[in-house]
Amino acid sequence: MMNIWMVPAVLLLSSTYLVTGHGDDTHDEFQGDPYSDDGCGETRGCFDCRDNLATCKVNVAWEPNPHEGVVKFTLWGTKVADQAHVSVGITPTGNMANADVYSCISDDTGLVMGRSRNPETGRTTTARPLKGVSGQEVSVMEGMIRCQFNRNMSLDDGDDEFFDINNISYFLILSAGTAAGGTGQGHDVGANRGLSASVDLSQTFSVGAGESMAYLMKLHGCLMIIAWIGLASVGLTMARFFKPMWPDSKLCDVKIWFAVHRACMVLALLLFVIGFIVIFVHVGGFLELGDGTESRRRFSHAVLGVIVTALGVINPIMAIFRPHPGTPKRSIFNWAHWAVGTSALILSFVTIGLALVPIAEINILPNLQGYTFWVLIGFCVFMFVMWVIFEVVRCSTDSEGRTNDIPLSDKNDTVQAADDTGPSLIGSAIREFCISRNLFVLESEGSMLKTILLFIFSLGAVFATAFLIITIAIA
């Protein structure tokens, strides 16, 4: 069999198939018109190209049935020769490399169905057993090959070549071409069609050719990266290391560190709550734990995402009800506020990393570059190094008598002095070590050095955020 899958190289599909679909599984007619838009976007997903049927010589629709754990595919295309096929390839890469191909064939043996696997490189494909496939129907009608089959969303036997399509987006690439012989005779270029869309086959929607349905997933990822890497990391750094900076200056009637901290965290809260809602809309609820490594990765990502969002919402609520400075419970609040905020930030990096790391060469977003994960790792290392530097710089200065909390007004509107109690046991130990050895003697913690370091850290956060969201957006 020879066909072109809308990629630069000509890919040869094996002419050897596991033959099924004869007898009771093969029917001469279909119920309904596969071109009909009945149920499109409601009970089944489909590519809508009825406005330009000239380019729609091969097409596919899918109908998920989560209760039975299957997706029903309807595939149709032009019968380009006496021995011909129509095929759909499921691939995580957007091209035919590593594609799981399902073909409906009209040849000398009759009407059959087969499955094959495209390699990473080269043109020789290999036949594969029709695992997880049932209810095959193949027919030829009015010069078209039409077929339907049920494909399991996942398998229990650990077949790495059988993609788990439960709430996971893949590219669909379609083809109609000649079968048997592989000579290319009778090949119709117009019958071959590569679709650039990545689709979640467990969802139902109508999408035009070339339109990607991963935009909600991309929006979710971009919002979370901006919220946690771009904003929360800077906001937490300001609260942790920059309370003594600019003691005589104010912004919006509060100290500069607090104004920046509050702005970053409020914006982060807004963005990650929106991102949380967006992904629930995309998935249609909470993910169920399925079979396979990819499904477990996504379920773990979802569980951690809920935990991170909960911590991110709890922390500002805690801040609203914080005790007055100087009261016995203030130190408890300081520790709790720091622990919840830091835990949320660390877990957010882990959660984002689970989404970006390739597992078995599969990314959550098809065409997401593998180096994206290492950019995240690089930022984590950068942030850790910068925090160590900030701690060393702070430990070089005796900070007795400094005011590092925002005071609250009591019932009589008299301002109470802020305390210096906070989660700084490690910082205190480093400070004692540095002071005892007269290391890094600075004039004050409001020095130019610390301002430069803050600029470098902020620039790193902006660069990492911009790089990651651009990479996700174009994936």
Q: What is the pLDDT of residues 187-225, one digit of tens each?
A: 333 344 445 456 777 777 666 544 445 678 889 999 999
Q: CB-based contacts of 277: which residues, under 8 Å, 6+ apart?
A: none
- The CB-based long-range contact list for 456-464 (8 Å cut-off, 24+ gap) reads 456/386, 457/234, 457/237, 457/383, 457/386, 458/234, 460/379, 460/382, 460/383, 460/386, 461/229, 461/230, 461/233, 461/234, 461/379, 461/383, 462/230, 464/229, 464/230, 464/375, 464/376, 464/378, 464/379, 464/382
In CATH, the architecture of 215-473 is: Up-down Bundle (1.20)
For 438-448, b/e burial (b = at least 16 CB within 10 A) is eeeeeeebbee
pLDDT of residue 239: 87
Examine the pLDDT at 308 and tell me if it is beyond 90: yes
Would you state the structure tokens that stand for residue 368, as one six-digit string?
Answer: 């997401």
Q: CB-based contacts of 294: which residues, under 8 Å, 6+ apart?
A: 164, 168, 359, 360, 362
Percent of the chain exceeding pLDDT 90 equals 21
Nearest to 5 by CA among 117, 198, 172: 172
Overall average pLDDT of the 411-428 stretch: 46
SS3 letters across 310-341: HHHHHHHHHHHCCCCCCCCCHHHHHHHHHHHH
pLDDT of residue 143: 83
Would you state the structure tokens that stand for residue 114, as one six-digit string?
Answer: 């087969």
pLDDT confidence tier of residue 41, bands split at 50, 70 and 90 = low
248 or 298, greater pLDDT: 298
Examine the pLDDT at 444 and tell me if it is beyond 60: no
Percent of the chain exceeding pLDDT 70 equals 64
Would you state the structure tokens that stand for residue 319, as one six-digit string?
Answer: 């801040």
260 or 50, greater pLDDT: 260
Question: Of 16-25, 99-108, 158-167, 396-405, which gets the smallest average pLDDT?
Answer: 16-25
Overall average pLDDT of the 427-437 stretch: 56
Examine the pLDDT at 461 and tell me if it is beyond 60: yes
Overall average pLDDT of the 11-23 stretch: 29
10 or 198, greater pLDDT: 198
25 or 144, greater pLDDT: 144
Examine the pLDDT at 251 and tell me if it is beyond 90: no
What are the boundaries of each domain within the chain? Answer: 2-208, 215-473
* The CATH number of domain 2-208, selected from 3.30.310, 3.30.70, 2.60.40, 3.30.56: 2.60.40
Examine the pLDDT at 163 and tell me if it is beyond 50: yes
On whether the CB atoms of residues 97 and 361 are closer than 8 A, the answer is: no
Examine the pLDDT at 473 and tell me if it is beyond 90: no
State the pTM of this model.
0.61
69-103 pLDDT, tens digit per residue, is 899 998 888 887 888 888 888 887 666 667 888 88
Q: How many degrees, rounded to 5, is the angle at CA 364 between CA 295 and CA 269?
A: 100
On the question of a common fold for 2-208 and 215-473, the answer reads no
Question: Of 24-38, 145-159, 279-293, which gets the smallest average pLDDT?
Answer: 24-38
Nearest to 396 by CA among 426, 440, 453: 440
